[in-house]
Amino acid sequence: MMKILWALAALLLTNTLSTAEVLSLQECIALAQRNNLQHQSDYQTLASTHAQLESARAPFGFNMSADLTAPNFTELRDTQENIALATRVREENTDFQYSGDLRMTQRVRHLGQVTLNTTALRRSFSSNRRSDFLDLSGDMRLNYQHQILNRPSEEISLKRAEHSLTSARLNFDRQDLQLEGQVVDDYYNLVQNIRRLEIEKQRLAQSHANLELAQRKFEVGLIAEVEALRLQVEMLQAEASFAQAETAIEQRRDILRETLGLDAAAPLDVSTEVKYELHPIDANRALEIGLTRRSDMQRAEIFEKIRALDLEDTRRRNGMTANLNADLSLRGRGGDIGDISRNFERNRWSVNIQVALPLIDNGQRRASLNQAQIALEQSRISRKQQRRQIVRQIRDATRNLNEAERQIDLRQAALRFAQRTYDVEQSRFELGLADSQQLLQAQGDLTRAQIDGLEAIITYQRELKNVRVATMAHLEELRP
């Protein structure tokens, strides 16, 4: 009894594993998003753009740096002549210095940059000719910088990096949807070939049964030999088509493996059940949503903004600049640490405005401005072209979807007619009322109708995918 239970459990586990290996379309899409190498490279590109934004944000954060010198030792030995005394005197000096600098900066958008420098110095001096001393000093310098006429390059770079990151995210979303579309195409190509193999197998079985019937009728003299030979040729052609269908399946399976990011030897089996549900699509709504959702349209607008920033930066570098600088210095010193705080006072402050104006540059400045202006105009024209292409793509996608929907009904009706015709011709051939040529014609029409019916359903699924890619919207959002 236990052996029977263990056998049933093993059988159930085997069936569960085999069922889990059969992948649905959604499972293939999820697998491709995890393993597809190009998708991973696209994600790394997005991560690189995010790192560039962090680098552009760095000047606007609080920055601190320190520089320490501990110690700086200097020894000086020199012989000096005293003309009045007509003697030579040897002087020996030693100087120990300990210093430290601390720099803190903070840049604020539209306001400028504030820098605070603090310096601490300890100096111990001893000499055989001069008085020894110990000196402690502390300096603090506050500096403010602001560009009056133009936006600073750091702010332009930050804005450009923000636009680039937004563009990279939109591009990644677009590439993710395109990967989904590629999986849909490769998945249904494999399914179509597997189902076609089933049709070719059915054709081969029909050809074999008809040939056996024809051979029996020829043996008893009911039909001529040429009738049986026609059916034998048909069976050989059916075997060749069956073999070609098997080869095509493996080729499509390898293509799907590559899209999913699987090894060439990895087992891959997909569900061959092709279900379809008609989705009514409002063409005007699809166009309206598509123009809003399409990430490449949004990227074209962002690219135009980046070109405008390039023009602004070019004007900044080639035009008149005016910088406001304000400095305030505080200092304290003495022989003891307490003397620094007691003597700490303002020792200098200044304000100045520096103006730089190019005068003669032989047209280089004008050429740079013209190039930046032309690049901006080109980006505007490109955005308009992009919009027209998107409108055409969405309109074509909705038209093709409507045509694919009509083809399903037509192909299904043709399949029912071909099946009925084949059944009639087979019965007539069995009764001796039709020849093999009529039977072969009906069998060929049935095979083509089966293939066309399958292709119509799969084409409809592909067109649904094309509408989703063209609009970047879910199908439920496009209903009338």
pLDDT at 19: 43
Q: In what order do the strands lie in the sheet with 112-127?
A: 63-82, 87-108, 112-127, 133-147, 321-334, 345-356
Helix, strand, coil abundance in the chain, percent, nearest 5: 65, 20, 15
253 and 333 assigned to the same domain: no
The answer to whether position 313 is within a domain reads: no
- Per the structure block, which two tokens stand in for 452? 């066309």
Q: Is the pLDDT of residue 480 over 90?
A: no
71-95: burial string, b at 16+ Cβ within 10 Å, e else: eeeeeeeeeeeeeeeeeeeeeebee
105 and 206 assigned to the same domain: no
Count of the separate structural domains present in the chain:
2
Separation CA 111–CA 147 (nearest Å): 9
340 and 383 assigned to the same domain: no
The answer to whether position 470 is within a domain reads: yes
Reference 281, options 466, 467, 470, 469; nearest CA is 467
Residue-wise pLDDT for 398-433, tens only, equals 999 999 999 999 999 999 999 999 899 888 888 877
Residue-wise pLDDT for 447-463, tens only, equals 999 999 999 999 999 99
The answer to whether position 461 is within a domain reads: yes
Local confidence band at 10 (pLDDT 50, 70, 90 cut-offs): very low
Cis check: omega of the bond before 480, within 30 degrees of 0: no
82 and 195 assigned to the same domain: no
Domain range for residue 90?
68-148+324-357
294 and 415 assigned to the same domain: yes
Question: Is the distance from CB of 293 to CB of 306 less than 8 angstroms?
Answer: no
- Per the structure block, which two tokens stand in for 68? 């320490």
The answer to whether position 63 is within a domain reads: no
Q: What secondary structure does DSSP assign to 399-465, as a single string?
A: HHHHHHHHHHHHHHHHHHHHHHHHHHHHHHHHHTSS-HHHHHHHHHHHHHHHHHHHHHHHHHHHHHH
Separation CA 248–CA 457 (nearest Å): 20
Separation CA 348–CA 334 (nearest Å): 19
Question: Is the distance from CB of 112 to CB of 144 less than 8 angstroms?
Answer: yes
27 and 91 assigned to the same domain: no
Separation CA 480–CA 477 (nearest Å): 9
Separation CA 297–CA 110 (nearest Å): 30
Separation CA 250–CA 30 (nearest Å): 22
Q: Which is more confident, 277 or 373? A: 373
pLDDT at 15: 42
Query: What CATH number does residue 275 fall under?
Result: 1.20.1600.10
pLDDT at 177: 94
Neighbours of 425 (CB within 10 A): 22
381 and 459 assigned to the same domain: yes
Secondary structure letter of residue 222 according to DSSP: S
Local confidence band at 72 (pLDDT 50, 70, 90 cut-offs): confident
Q: In degrees rounded to 5, what are phi and psi of residue 235?
A: -65, -40
Sign of the Cα torsion 258, 260, 264, 267 reads negative
What is the number of residues in the chain?
A: 480
The answer to whether position 317 is within a domain reads: no
Secondary structure letter of residue 309 according to DSSP: H
Q: In degrees rounded to 5, what are phi and psi of residue 319?
A: -110, -170
Residue-wise pLDDT for 232-244, tens only, equals 888 888 888 889 8
Local confidence band at 84 (pLDDT 50, 70, 90 cut-offs): low
Average pLDDT, whole number, for the chain? 87
pLDDT at 9: 38
229 and 343 assigned to the same domain: no
350 and 380 assigned to the same domain: no
pTM value is 0.79
What is the separation, in whole angstroms, between the first and last Cα of the chain?
Answer: 62
384 and 346 assigned to the same domain: no
- Per the structure block, which two tokens stand in for 157? 């770079």
- 3-state DSSP call for residue 116? strand
205 and 105 assigned to the same domain: no
